[in-house]
Every structure is written in C-alpha cells, then in structure tokens.
Amino acid sequence: MTLANLQQHFSNGGSPSDVIRDIYQKISEWNDPALFIHLPSEEELLEIAAQVEAMPRDLPLWGIPFVIKDNIDVAGWPTTAACPDFSYIPDADAEVVRLLRAAGAIPIGKANLDQFATGLVGTRSPYGVARNAIAPGWLPGGSSSGSASALAAGLCSFSLGTDTAGSGRVPAAFQELIGCKPTRGLLSILGVVPACRSLDCVSIFAHNPADAAAVLQVACKADAADPFSREISQSPAFPETFRFGVPSALDFSGDPDTPELFDEAVRNLEARGGTAVPIDLTPFTEAARLLYEGPWVAERWAAVGDFVQAHPESVFPVTRQILEASQKWDAATTFKAQYRLRELARQCEPVWQSIDVLLLPTTPRLYTVEENLADPIATNSVLGRYTNFMNLLDLAAVALPAGRARSGKVPWGVTLAAPAGSDIALLDLSSRLLDQPRLKISTPPATIPIVVCGAHMEGLALHWQLTDRGATLRQRGTTAPCYRLFAMPASGSIPPRPALVHDAEKGTAIEVEVWDLTAAAFGDFVAQIPAPLGIGKVTLADGQTLPGFIAEPRATDQAEEITRFGGWRAWLQNPRGIPSP
C-alpha cells in the first residue's frame, strides 16, 4: 500500500476501483469494530473512485486511498470527534482534505480517536479501543489511534491525524509508522475540530518518509481562511555530516527495553554521519509541563466547553475530568504562563546553535491497554514527556520506528525534531536513518503574491500573462473597503483597463484575485506593466497587505468611475457594455 507500489499497480493496468474493492475486503477480514467511526458503503467509495478515474492520471496522489481522523471534516460524512452527541455533517471538506482530493486521493473512512483529541493512549473513546495492528493488547497510541491502526493494518496508503501534544507521533511509535508532525501552521486546520487551536496541527501517518513527504507537499498550501495558517519556507536538507542533540539525562520510567533501543538509535545516527552532542533538555521539558499544568488546557475548554456543560453525560469520563479542570485558569495566570513560555523558548535558543537536529525517545516506555486503564491519567502523562513541548516551542518533528521491545514483539520509536520549516529535511534524514532511498523531492521555489483586479483575473482577456508564467491561484476575495475603481478608456489596440485607486473616504470593497509567481516570473510580469499602472501595496478585506495593481492619480483622467459595480468582472457584464474609445 505504499505510494510507489500503488502507482506501479496503476501503471500495470490496475485501477482505483480495484484497490477500493480490495480494501473493503481487507477491512472485513481485519474485523475491528473500534477502528472506524464512519465507514461508507463499498458502493459509495466505488463512486468516488470512478470520479477519480476520470481525473488526469498525472495528479500526484491519483487513486491513493487515505483514512481521516474523525475530528477532520469530510463533506457529507459525520464528524463526531468520538462523541456521538457532538456529531454534525459538514457541507465542505476540511481544507487539507480538499487539497488531497484535488490531487486524486480517495478518502476511505473516518477513524476512531481519543475523544476531542484529548489523550495519547487511544482508550478514551465510547467507540472502543482500536486494535494495535502490530501488538494486540498494547496501546495503539492516541489521540489518532484509528488513523494509525488503519495504516498499520494495510487498509490505506496514508492517513491523517492531528497533533497538539503528540497525537500524531505516539501512535506512529507504537505501530511502526512514520508520524510527520508538521511545523505549526504549515497545513491548514480549517475544518478541524479544535483541541488547542493555537497549537493544533494536522499530522500525516505514512509507511515511509518518501510517502509522508509526497503527501506533505500536496497539503502544505497557505490558507487565507485559516488565521493560524502561515507561509513557511523549507530549510535545505541536513548536510552529510551533522550534529544531533542527545539529552544528557533521560527518564524512561522504568521501562526494561527502551533505554537500549534509544542507545541503538544514537549509534545508528552516528553511523550515518551524525555527531552526538549532549544537551540540557530542562527548558524543553519545563515548557512541556505548561501544556497540561498551565492555561493551555483551558483552550480545550474554549473549543468544546459549551458542549460539555450542556451535555456532561455525553463526554467520556476521563476526558470530562480533564476538560472541567481547565476552568480554574484566569487571565492573570494565563499571561504569566505566556511570559514563562517566552523565557523558556529563549533558554532553548542556544541549543540550536550547537546542534542541527534533536533526537528523542518518542515515548519513555510502553504500556498495555490494561495498564493504562488501571491508571489513565498517570500513564498518559508519561507518554507525553518528550512530545508535549514541540508545538509550544514551534518545532517540526518526525517520529520513526526504532526497533521492537519485549523480545521483538512491541514496536517503539524515536523522534527527530528541529526548528520550524525543517519538515522536508527531517523526513530526508529519517530516510537515511532507516536506510531507505533519499528523498527526490525538490522544495518548491519561494513565491511572491500579486493582487489583480481586472483583465488578469481568471477567465478574462489577459489572464494568459499569468498562466504562461506559471502563476497559481492563492485566493479570491475583495479589497478592504477603501478603494475606488475606474475604467480607463481604450486607446488604439489597448482595450479598456482598470485603475484601482486608494480612497479611504469614498472607497469600497473591490473584487480581486491573488496569484502566486516565482520571484523571476514576478519580475518579468511587473516589467511589462505600462504606466499609469504600477505595483503598490493593496490591503485585502482579511487584513493582508500584498503587492498588487495600483494606478497613479492621472489614470482617472477621462476614465469612467465604476466603483459602484464592485469589480471589473461585474462591470464587463453590465448590459450597457464596455464604453467606446
């Protein structure tokens, strides 16, 4: 079920429909009623496969099946966040799901999770405990338990989880998977039920680093509708010789096997060009404590507190205990915690001057389901010891397999972490550590946005000047309500052109589009713009200020004001037609 194997299958004449039939049979044979919260009928999935088969075959994820954690929206499928009474049916896909489906991927079903993504164990769901696909009876990991179990069972090619405190890494460690926790804001969280909204990430489970990188590159598009989305440039691959941090003191909570497995991971990284550098992990672990011993847990109450108050009996007991305890934090302690986090972040900065990457146990130890249920809070806390600080400190991380414990029966893993924007570099380093082919994925070139308001908009006369330069649409919308629009008269072979003029007193919102160009294409495009038009800063309705077409004041001479139409396209459709020269 790797991307390479499926793509080879398609090249040999196989079809996405064949894959769906095979998966549906495997799901029946796997027989885990706690795995999926929503599994569509085979007929519905075959209809989706048929739609994909009509799409261009060169799409990067054409025909690739994936599973979605059930706190991420899929249009027309219920989203429960593992709470039946919370369930709703969204009208639209979450943005990350939309991007993946546009690339040809096929959603298979919605997977079980720790309710409201609160937990690292996979046992906090009224739908049951998804089976650990490698080691039944041991924790599957959470909160993205079903997403990991479905992938480890071979029921999909990749899966989506979420990761606020380790939910996309712990299940990967426990089920021998790659768990990619992207830089915060790299993947849109629009259409995701929030846990701690300021820290939440959509995560990717994959069979290997190359698959995770392929999915990441499809999904990592800045989303103007998500206030937490951001443009993040990717750092280059780590050099052949590099420095990796190893904490001078680690606490494995008495596990008999994981210390030796971690030492082996250190030796493996040294054998692949790394130099181990002892570091003091104290400021990192101090930051980790803030997540559940500070006011960030109150963000969970901000997300679902109203529902919990109205439906207390609908909430899983351990989850309700955690959520209700979060109400004790007031504004003053919240600010104090933020100040403390900034202090700790500053203390962490020198560490990155001495190392390129940080190597950590993903979890200190392993637990059976029975052990966790006997002490649900304490065991969960142990599992988050080396995961909780990542999003607080704005790090990217990749969890990867690092051998098996308990006489080779139970998977365990380590995590590589580095500052924001190291996502692809970490996946490439993971492939080195696992003796897999290096990634052959180039980082997309940096782009520059340009706001267009006239004939360069999609479907209009001059749009080809953008598409010929490889422009991609970033967003559609309007300006802030402070612009006037004029139609400059035609002149010879030059058709009428729009003139956008800033006017804080008489202006209104004007329809625009934002297109992304590489730096070279942007420079070439701008060089062709004739006076009195030019490039200035245009403020959009969402507050962004981006490069865009702005006219000199003289552009309004003998021009018809068309502000009242709200945009160039609407004026073109005016029954009175385009003014004569």
Residues with active-site annotation: 69, 143, 167
d(CA 340, CA 333): 10
Question: Is the CB of residue 280 less than 8 Å from the CB of residue 260?
Answer: no
Amino acid at 141: G
- Cα–Cα distance list, 458 to 159, 224, 484, 520, 528 (Å): 34, 18, 21, 21, 19
Contact yes or no for 164/195 (Cβ under 8 A): yes
Let me know: does 229 contact 184? Beta carbons within 8 Å. no
Give the whole-angstrom CA distance, residue 260 versus residue 524: 57
Is 69 in contact with 147 (CB distance < 8 Å)?
yes
Could you tell me what percentage of the chain is helix, strand and coil, using 3-state DSSP and rounding each to the nearest 5? 35, 20, 45
d(CA 482, CA 211): 46
Nearby residues of 475 by Cβ (< 8 Å), 6 or more positions away? 224, 225, 513, 514
Query: What is the per-residue burial (b if ≥16 Cβ within 10 Å, else e) of 495-517?
Result: ebbbbbbbeeeebbbbbbbbbbb
Letter string b/e over residues 371-400, b meaning 16 or more CB atoms within 10 A of that residue's CB: ebeeebeebbbbbbbbbbbbbbbebbbbbb
